[in-house]
Structure 1
Amino acid sequence: MKPVKWGIISTANIGVAKVIPGMLKSKDLEIVAISSRKLKTAQEWAGKLGIPKAYGSYEEMLADPEIEAVYNPLPNHLHVPLTLAAAKAGKHVLCEKPIAISAKEAMQLRRAPKNVFIAEAFMVRYATQWLAARDLVRKKKIGDVRAIQVMFSYFNRDPKNVRNMADIGGGGMLDIGCYPITTARFIFDAEPVRVTATIDRDPKFGTDRLAGGLADFGDGRHLSFTVSTQLAPYQRVNIMGTKGRIEIEIPFNAPPDKPNRYFVQGMDMNVGEWTELPVSDQYQLQAEAFGRVIRKKQKPVWGVDDAIQNMKILDAFFRSEKSRKWEKP
């Protein structure tokens, strides 16, 4: 496959620390440019990462005819505006999650040119341990899956961090609550029919710092989760079936330099086997899959409509916070 030529919008930490290093491992793509609002910053990171071009504005990079696709890791409130700007410039866009702050905002992306592919950057859909878990579920290895339980937390009270700025889409639900929702949809291969939430907000920031959610997927299946921006760092997923369970270790921040592991238990409590998978980088796999869609080597699976659906579910959780009732996405 002819390598896809990429440009990076901004020097956000998720990009320079995780996504770009993963992408640089691939032979199926070339990162040809990185942009920042400050040329010096773009030049510094271009030098550190070995990227040929540096631009002092996003608009200047989007005008570069060499670039075919862009990765957008800007703060949440800038996801839709810059994704639309890139799409109108003829660039395919891999936009960091969440794709918007609300479903209404996300729907603006339907105005993008039809020949441009836009996808939300949920790297877990390409991670080897998640693909293995989904395969085991489909093969009924643990019987009928009835429950998925997720815990995901970190501690961050920095007032200058975008995750603690409510007016630009900060808070735990948009930052990490989107992961339980996405992965439950991925494993159940279904959509929730109703959701309910309990949310505690930081009195200073106004952001949701602790959220518990329950999503009813029908047919006796549900997702339950806790996410927090102010608890000890931890993450774990349990997929519970009628004949066993699958536990995914480090499900979201999977290490790119160590084997990823999952545990399969039968009907004896905590008796089972850990499986180690070959070392892989989920960000590399994500970018390569995106490139195959651009090159028409595979059909798109998750695009704008899927991203809007995810936002509708998040919106329903926030409505439930206020109504204290079940809400339909």
Structure 2
Amino acid sequence: MTGQGKVKWGVLGVANIAVKKVIPAMQLGRDGSIVAIASRDLGKAHAAARALDIPKAYGSYEELLADPEIEAIYNPLPNHLHVPWSIKAAEAGKHVLCEKPISLTVAEAKTLLAAQQRTGVKIGEAFMVCTHPQWLRTRELVRSGHIGTLKTIMGAFSYFNRDPGNVRNVAQWGGGGLMDIGCYPITTSRFIFGEEPTRVMGLIERDPEFKVDRLASAILDFPSGQSIFTCSTQMTPYQRMQFLGTTGRIEIEIPFNAPPDRPTRLFIDDGRDVFGGGITTETLPVCDQYTIQGDAFSRAIRGDGDVPVSMDSAIANMAVIEAVFRSAESGKWEKP
């Protein structure tokens, strides 16, 4: 399905991330417009449509997918519904931007890839970080040799949430920290190294009540170096990513939940001393990574460039996540 002008988007569900972050940001974009939202509760759909000034509200996902005006779908449903509804959207001829993680398993993600190949629509994973200027700048600095040869990436990402009703604490819905936030240090490590890890080691602690992973740490062994990270759903809220090379270091202050209302900062250290004497701060202008992501995807639909995160990349990321889980069980290195 191709057209002219702004790409017309529909949204499946009224997830928090959609109504609070992604929809308002995409509405500020130049290349797409949100024309419909659906919920299995028509009242919720109408409320979201009124609050966000969206023209159409539907009481089922099927009705939205049947709307011929809609060209693309944003799918922020719980993890276990990502693939089933993205496949239904593709089969309805709609392009799909699906929230991360793309699926619950590699095998499931491959069924979505098959649907994409069968239908010819564009499908991508919503890792908005891969379009944020702070990440593009970090990659540029690393690739230009600014910190010598990149050897190690270190990351941490955590928050505290023990709400039993929250989807992140429901095991059968793909809950847990590795799927929700551990996927970020994995995808960004792959993004910055420009490689895939050859083997991974994982350690996991599970919540005794919810059975989801509440603390996970991993080592990813890349051809060029190593990435290590810890993520937790029951720790103090924190996030940071560091990139250590042979002659310098880069630190991203707020790597994942980059604020849309103030500048972001990179700390670039020439390594002259351990007291920070060699640190310079690079400030990147205010932007909203969800606006950038939406516009980039819309342009790809119109034939201008590729979707920011392809299905191939999404499957490769899921393979690493799976390998971390396997390693935590086996106690051995596992190959993605």
Distance apart, 1:292 and its partner CA: 1.2
1:302 is displaced (CA, Å) by 2.9
The correspondence of residues 1-329 of structure 1 with structure 2, limited to 5 A, is 2-112=5-115, 113-219=118-224, 221-268=225-272, 269=274, 270=276, 271-300=278-307, 302-329=309-336
**In the aligned structure 2, how far is the partner of 1:90 from the partner of 1:50?**
25
User: Contact 2:90–2:119 at 8 Å: present in 1 too?
Assistant: no
Distance apart, 1:20 and its partner CA:
0.8
Helix, strand or coil at the partner of 2:222:
strand
Cα RMSD for the two superposed structures: 1.0
2:236 maps to a residue whose letter is: A
The Cα of 1:300 is off from its aligned counterpart by 4.0
Q: Distance in 2 between matches of 1:17 and 1:173?
A: 23
> In 1, distance between residues paired with 2:40 and 2:306?
35
- Measured in 2, the distance between the counterparts of 1:19 and 1:301 equals 16
Task: Look up the equivalent residue of 2:205 and give its one-letter code.
Answer: D
Query: What SS does structure 1 have at the residue aligned with 2:300?
Result: helix
Residue identity (%): 57
| Structure 1 residue 267, shift from structure 2 partner | 1.9
The one-letter code matched in structure 2 to 1:245 is R
Aligned partners of 1:300, 1:31: CA distance in 2, in Å? 18
- Alpha-carbon contact 2:93-2:119 (below 8 Å) kept: no
Alpha-carbon contact 2:158-2:233 (below 8 Å) kept: yes
For structure 1, the residue ranges without an aligned partner over 5 or more in a row are: none
Aligned AA for 2:80?
H
Distance 2:265 2:54 in 1: 33
User: What's the offset of the Cα at 1:21?
Assistant: 1.2
CA distance in 1, matches of 2:315, 2:143: 26
Query: TM-score, normalised to structure 2's length?
Result: 0.96
CA-to-aligned-CA distance 1:177-215 (integer Å, 9 cap, x gap):
100110000000000000001100000000000001000
* Counterpart Cα distance in 2 of 1:239 and 1:287: 28
Report if the CA contact (8 A) 2:91-2:119 is conserved.
no
Moved more, 243-252 or 297-306: 297-306
- Residue identity in the other structure for 2:229: F
Deviation at 1:243, TM superposition (A): 1.0
Would you say how many aligned residue pairs link Structure 1 and Structure 2? 328
Q: Which moved more, 1:127-136 or 1:296-305?
A: 296-305
Report SS of the residue matched to 1:218: coil
Deviation by residue 1:143-169 (Cα, 9 ceiling, x = unmatched): 100000000000000000000001110
User: Which deviations, in whole Å up to 9, do the C-alpha atoms of 1:237-278 show, x marking residues without a partner?
Assistant: 001111111100110000001001111000223221111111
Would you say the 8 A contact 2:297–2:308 is kept in 1? no
The structure 1 segments of at least 4 consecutive aligned residues displaced by more than 6 Å after TM superposition are none
Matched-pair contact (CA < 8 Å) for 2:293–2:308: no
Deviation at 1:27, TM superposition (A): 2.0
